[in-house]
Amino acid sequence: KAGVTQTPRYLIKTRGQQVTLSCSPISGHRSVSWYQQTPGQGLQFLFEYFSETQRNKGNFPGRFSGRQFSNSRSEMNVSTLELGDSALYLCASSLVAGAGYEQYFGPGTRLTVT
């Protein structure tokens, strides 16, 4: 079974631009979560989707948004990019929502904002 895939793997953007990242969960998984990883803040929860509905949201500004499609694939969008948005963005998929269900991470998208 294929793992979680994320595209693109690397991205360079300029301040003020917007970016869309894509995540395809493991086949059969219906829950997708997004995390931001930086050296300073570590791994931080962005948001979580299940059955096309946002179930939970982390403490990030409204510039960060996401959505999930009927095939469980998910996208996240960051508008008006800032230098501090440079990070590894990780997507994790799980069979269903709820603590105790194993989450599997993709390789991440490395976003660099210049």
User: Is 69 among the residues that bind another protein (CB under 8 A)?
Assistant: no
Q: Return the biggest CA–CA distance within the chain.
A: 39
Q: Rounded to 5 degrees, what are φ and ψ at 85?
A: -80, -5
**Binding-site member from 45, 67, 73, 75 for another protein (CB under 8 A):** 45
The SS3 call for residue 47 is strand
**Binding-site member from 55, 65, 67, 86 for another protein (CB under 8 A):** 55
Q: Which residue has the tokens 């390789």?
A: 107
**Binding-site member from 7, 15, 17, 43 for another protein (CB under 8 A):** 43
The 10 Å Cβ neighbour count of residue 16 is 10
- Where along the sequence are the contacts to another protein (CB under 8 A)? 4, 31, 33, 35, 42-45, 48, 55-56, 58, 90, 92, 94, 97-108
